[in-house]
Amino acid sequence: MSYSIGDVVKKTGLSAYTLRYYEKEGLLPFVKKNSSGVRAYSDEDLRWLTMIECLKDSGLQIKEIRQYIEWFNEGDSTLAQRLSLFENRRKILEKEMARLTVAMNKIRYKELLYREAVRVGNLDIATNERRFMQLKKKLFESPDDFDK
């Protein structure tokens, strides 16, 4: 099946500007043009767009995504480089997820604390409750927290 840029905009939620930018940056070297010179996207192109968005969401820069696409187009001789790219990206994401988990736990603590303070009408009373003192110590005073 063949899709116009307008069809792709509707299907993906990406703007026409973004699609043109990706093409200009070399991220869509596989998109063909019809006899009139108009881009004709295929189902495979849509799958590539999904992958490009995933890679962007993971934090890869445009130049890194372009490199991955070049490696893919080079074939099996670049399998090791592609594997390394994904292993490194996974490790970075795992560290970021751990950091965000620590932040989320602190936000949840504050949410619970303020909910209790609203309930009792006083922040000091809520803060001095044993359960909040224990949580605060665990979340904000743990030496492990400094490593994250």
Give me the residues paired with residue 3 across strands.
41
The pLDDT tens digits for 86-140 are 999 999 999 999 999 999 999 999 999 999 999 999 999 999 999 999 999 988 8
How do the domains of the chain map onto residue ranges? 5-74, 86-147
Q: b or e along 124-135 (b: 16 or more beta carbons within 10 Å of the residue's beta carbon)? A: eebeeeeebeeb
C-alpha–C-alpha distance, residues 62 and 60, integer Å: 7
CATH number of 5-74: 1.10.1660.10
Average model confidence (pLDDT) for the chain?
92
Provide the CA 28 distance to its chain's centre, in angstroms.
20
For 110, the enclosing helix (H) or strand (E) is: helix 79-120
Confidence class of residue 144 from pLDDT cuts 50, 70 and 90? low
116-120: Cβ within 8 A, 24+ apart: none
